Structure 1
Amino acid sequence: MRQRLSSEPDRYRGRRRVPTPPRSRYAAVVTTAFVGAGIVALGANALPDAKSVSPSVLDELRQASIASQDAAARADSADRATRAERSSDATTDAAEQDPYLLPLHGYDFKSPYGVRWGKLHTGIDLVAPEGTPYQAIHSGTVTKAGWFGGYGYAVIVRHADGTEAIYGHSSAVTVKEGQQVKAGDQLGLVGNTGHSYGSHLHLEVHVNGQPLDPVPWLQERGVDIKLETEALYGDVAAS
């Protein structure tokens, strides 16, 4: 091969370099390329004494190539597993940061969802002393905070998924419309306003604008309002 003179232009100057593979697979890629090049060279009689090369050497090169490809495949598999694990952890973290909680504690569960006195009772009643603070069951935006007809003083919170929670018959509300709240934030005080028969919190849940039974809906989200229990991370988030 003729040596390039210093006065001759560099034919390779200015050409783009091939991108370097990620470090996690760099060794496997380099090994595969090197071994593959060796096999091609030997197969094409590129070496001066290629005919004298022992068949066992070629076999060793082929085995080394297969091994390096397997290593690259294992590296890819490990990378995918790591990404999946991180995604799962992120989902869990998001759930812990935005939990569902009980609206208050120390209540008596009364008047479940269903027909009552010939009419549909569209929520549940939680009996507690007047003035007992109650809180948001989930994060969202306050869309109503004030007098709301038969609900008396009420608070409505729209959650990110479009569902709504209505808290009725309050003696007072402690939030404003447009305010962003998190699960556990105080919304108001239990009362006896509107069409109410005794001090209690009336809780409704609306999905697609229609009321549904809050009990199974909350159970699906880790809160059992009849047993007054909630997911363990709820206590951590509320503290």
Structure 2
Amino acid sequence: MRQRLSSEPDRYRGRRRVPTPPRSRYAAVVTTAFVGAGVVALGAGALPDAKAVSPSALADLEKAAATSEDLSARAADAERASRNDRGDDGLASTLAAAPEVWRLPLENYSFTSPYGMKWNKLHAGIDLAAPEGTPYSAVHAGTVTKAGWFGGYGYCVIVRHADGTESIYGHSSKIVVSEGQEVKAGDQLGLVGLTGHAYGSQLHLELHVNGKPTDPIPYLRDRGVDIQLQVDDLYAGVAAS
């Protein structure tokens, strides 16, 4: 056992000496302490003293906040009213105005008869069964060239489109457009019925391309409308318009 040196302090008797931390760690600890104290001091200086705020200033702030909330509420009400004026189909109406958009002629129907030979003669269109009085609309923008009685078609509407293609809507119970009228895709033309040579309440739809009857199913499908699946794509052709 070595003798205690006279230079060793008495306070180390019977105790384990805690090693002094490395200089780098010591510096880091001290620096962190100073930085933290500085942040606290700055934060305390930045906070306003509630006692020093004028009551009139607080009242002005509350009034300004209430005014801002009122203006926001009025703006929200105006936007809702604008949407209601446009209707839930505001986007559909906007897109329908584009010249390349094609739409389904009506909703909630049963596809009953395709294009092709029927009873030894050409059935030049397709039949879509729906309750009498169901509204139907234009599949594409154009000009109404016929709106009235048309033989076996019964009350009929014919719309001529910009490229010369014609869409024919037969067996109507009522027509709500007139000849010479401009219509957009989705605009109502009439009501489903069973006038003319119809076997039940239905809409008879024909498409004539270059003056000749054309199967509406593939023609419309190429333009984003699937008659059989009752699906139309409002965006079809919009990018090119």
Same fold (TM over 0.5): yes
Cα 1:95–1:147 shift into 2, 3 Å: closer
Cα 1:149–1:223 shift into 2, 3 Å: same
Q: Does 1:225 align with 2:227?
A: yes
Q: Residue 145 of structure 1 aligns with which residue?
A: 147
Cα deviation per residue 1:114-151 (whole Å; 9 max; x = unaligned)? 00111100000000000000000000000000000000
| Counterpart-to-counterpart distance in 2, 1:144 and 1:153 | 10
Q: Residue 158 of structure 2 aligns with which residue?
A: 156
Q: Percent identity?
A: 70
RMSD: 1.9
Cα deviation per residue 1:179-221 (whole Å; 9 max; x = unaligned)? 0000010000000000111000000000111001000000010
Q: Residue 102 of structure 2 aligns with which residue?
A: 100
| Counterpart-to-counterpart distance in 1, 2:143 and 2:96 | 18
After TM superposition, the structure 1 = structure 2 runs for residues 78-227 of structure 1, keeping only pairs within 5 Å, are 97-98=98-99, 99-227=101-229
- Identify unmatched segments of 5+ residues in structure 1: 1-92
- Identify unmatched segments of 5+ residues in structure 2: 1-93
| Counterpart-to-counterpart distance in 1, 2:121 and 2:233 | 33
| Counterpart-to-counterpart distance in 2, 1:225 and 1:137 | 11
The count of residues paired between Structure 1 and Structure 2 equals 143
Cα deviation per residue 1:149-172 (whole Å; 9 max; x = unaligned)? 000000000000000000000001
Shift of 1:233: 3.3
Local SS of the residue matching 2:117: strand
Cα 1:96–1:145 shift into 2, 3 Å: closer
Cα 1:96–1:149 shift into 2, 3 Å: closer
Q: Residue 25 of structure 1 aligns with which residue?
A: none
| Counterpart-to-counterpart distance in 2, 1:181 and 1:96 | 9
| Counterpart-to-counterpart distance in 1, 2:230 and 2:157 | 21
Local SS of the residue matching 2:235: helix
Cα 1:96–1:142 shift into 2, 3 Å: closer
Shift of 1:97: 1.8
User: Post-superposition, which runs of at least 4 consecutive aligned residues in structure 1 deviate over 2 A?
Assistant: 93-96
CA contact (8 A) 2:141 2:183 kept: yes
| Counterpart-to-counterpart distance in 2, 1:94 and 1:105 | 18
Local SS of the residue matching 1:183: coil
CA contact (8 A) 1:96 1:233 kept: no
Cα deviation per residue 1:82-121 (whole Å; 9 max; x = unaligned)? xxxxxxxxxxx99972310000000000110000111100
Give the TM-score, by structure 1 length.
Answer: 0.57
Give the TM-score, by structure 2 length.
Answer: 0.57
CA contact (8 A) 2:132 2:194 kept: yes
CA contact (8 A) 2:160 2:166 kept: yes
| Counterpart-to-counterpart distance in 2, 1:120 and 1:126 | 17
Cα deviation per residue 1:44-96 (whole Å; 9 max; x = unaligned)? xxxxxxxxxxxxxxxxxxxxxxxxxxxxxxxxxxxxxxxxxxxxxxxxx9997
